[in-house]
Amino acid sequence: MTNVIEVTGLTKRFGRLIAVDDVSFVVRSGEIFGLLGENGAGKTTTIEILEGFQKPDQGSATVLGVNPVHAHRHWRDRIGLVLQESDFDPLHTVNETLALFASFFTNPRDVTETLELVGLADRADERIGRLSGGQKRRIDVALGIIGHPDLLFLDEPTTGFDPVARREFWGVIEGLREQGTSIVLTTHYMEEAERLCDRLAIMSKGQIVAEGTSSALISALGATTIRFELPYGVDQSTLCTICKVNFAVRDNVAAVLLGDDVQDVLMRLLTWSQSTGQTLVGLEVVRPTLNDVFLGATGAEP
């Protein structure tokens, strides 16, 4: 399998801030690669270097076999962009806007076909000003794929979507992968990354702090998570003493990641609960999620 992106030791500074700090990764052909991180973690700067908008200070990036700094027309013909925030001239129809953008490419997708792919076929002749926010985001995706790109950059594509729209959008992205498009995705949503990404990297303060498939990252963390609401009048340290493990407490929810010792800890917890009459509201014994990986790797909520 070939690599569509190879990044080695990439570094970018803005004044004294190191936005991207010695980052290396590869994206394989045909996969969805996720770049996760908080705001300011360096995701967008990394993507902008890969798109050719920024020059790295050190390191190298090869995208579709070319250094993006020396991007030429045939290279641009093969990449697509879906931007984090965008808007469109409200006075044009969906069709007119897509037709203009399609005319920029050598081998564009058919406009109607593209609109069907993103679920906007029935709004083709509507003026963009009359569309909802979610529908405008679909135009964004349509513009990203209208040139038949081999590689698509999606920068937080579902921010502002309602849950239904987000699920539909995931279907669109999976459809593109089936057609062989390689995709680089940045996102805030762990559920989205877990569902879509074949492999992912978590960035924090400009560096990659974890990388791999989401299931590998999750199993590396531990087998099981125990979670429940911290009972009234019980503090974190008491809990840790009783159960002999370190519970983390956030928003009044106590949680711990466990390996083989899960039965022992549960037993101690339940025995304590029964003997003191404390109820354990919302008790869960679950597989950890990507969110737990993210918290562990960055020490913050996404």
Partner 1 sequence: MRFIRLSLAQALYNLRAYLRSARTVVLGVVMPVGLLVILSWVFAHQGQIAVAAGYQMSAIAFYAGGLTAYGLMLGTFTGVMVAVVGAREAGWLKRFRAAPVPPGSYLAGQILFNVLISLGLVVVMMTIATLVYDLHLRAAALSAIFAYTLLGVFCFTAVALAITRLITTPEMGSSVGPFVAITLSFTSGVFLPPDLMPHWLVDVSNYLPLEPLAQSMQSVLASSAGTGYQYRTFVVLGVWGVVSFVVARLSFKWQPLRR
**Which residues contribute to the site for partner 1 (CB under 8 A)?**
48, 51-53, 73-77, 79, 81, 83, 85-89, 91-92, 96, 100-101, 103-106, 143, 147
> Residue 72 CA to chain centroid, in angstroms?
28
**Tokens read off for 5:** 């992106």
Q: What is the DSSP letter of 106?
A: S
CB of 52 or CB of 296, closer to partner 1: 52
CB of 129 or CB of 299, closer to partner 1: 129
CB of 83 or CB of 124, closer to partner 1: 83
Distance of closest approach, residue 224 Cβ to partner 1, in angstroms: 40
CB environment 81-103: b (16+ within 10 A), e (fewer): bbeeeeebeeeebbbbbbeebbe
Residues 6+ apart with CB under 8 A from 277: none
Which three-class secondary structure state does DSSP give residue 248?
strand
Distance of closest approach, residue 19 Cβ to partner 1, in angstroms: 12
Query: By C-alpha distance, which of 214, 154, 203 is closest to 183?
Result: 154
CB of 100 or CB of 267, closer to partner 1: 100
CB burial of residue 173 (10 Å; 0-12, 13-18, 19+): buried
Distance of closest approach, residue 257 Cβ to partner 1, in angstroms: 35
Distance of closest approach, residue 67 Cβ to partner 1, in angstroms: 15
Distance of closest approach, residue 249 Cβ to partner 1, in angstroms: 34
CB of 81 or CB of 217, closer to partner 1: 81
